[in-house]
Amino acid sequence: MRRSFEERKSKKEFRMNIINRIKDLTPKERARVIEEILAQKYTIPYSTKDEISKSTIYRWLREFRENPDAEAVLMGKARNDRGVVKVLHEKQKDAAKNPNVRISSGIRAQLCCYLQVRTPKLSLNV
């Protein structure tokens, strides 16, 4: 699902709240605080999960330390392949060409455009 800038920003703020608690601690103190973080339940923006894994916290910390751009650090990535069909299987290709297969006309037109074939007309004789 494509997230708006504001949604991505709210996720970044949540991540930064976690990272700000541990970024300047010694390794021993950081391990203790991370265990406390893992024991808590959270309301994570735009997520159904309520817990954070240890590997996620360390990944966020690594990204925070490695990224000099304060605006982009911990900001969710925007997908650059949205709407691009990577690979169509033969079954999908056949479905796009067959007017009797039930798929939306918009998707059928996109598939036919991808396959460079004419959009088949739906027959009313069913």
Which one has a higher pLDDT value, 31 or 106?
31
The domain locations on the chain are 5-66, 85-126
Q: Per residue in 10-36, pLDDT tens?
A: 999 999 999 999 999 999 999 999 999
Closest by CA to 51, choosing from 65, 37, 64, 72, is: 37
pLDDT of residue 123: 47
Measured over the CA atoms of residue 84, residue 8, residue 76 and residue 43, the dihedral's sign is negative
CA distances from 119 to 88, 91, 122 (A): 17, 17, 9
Closest by CA to 49, choosing from 13, 11, 5, 77, is: 11
pLDDT of residue 38: 94
- For the chain, the distance separating the N- and C-terminal CA atoms, rounded to the nearest angstrom, is 35
Query: Which pTM was predicted?
Result: 0.60
Is residue 124 very low, low, confident or very high in pLDDT (cuts 50, 70, 90)? Answer: very low
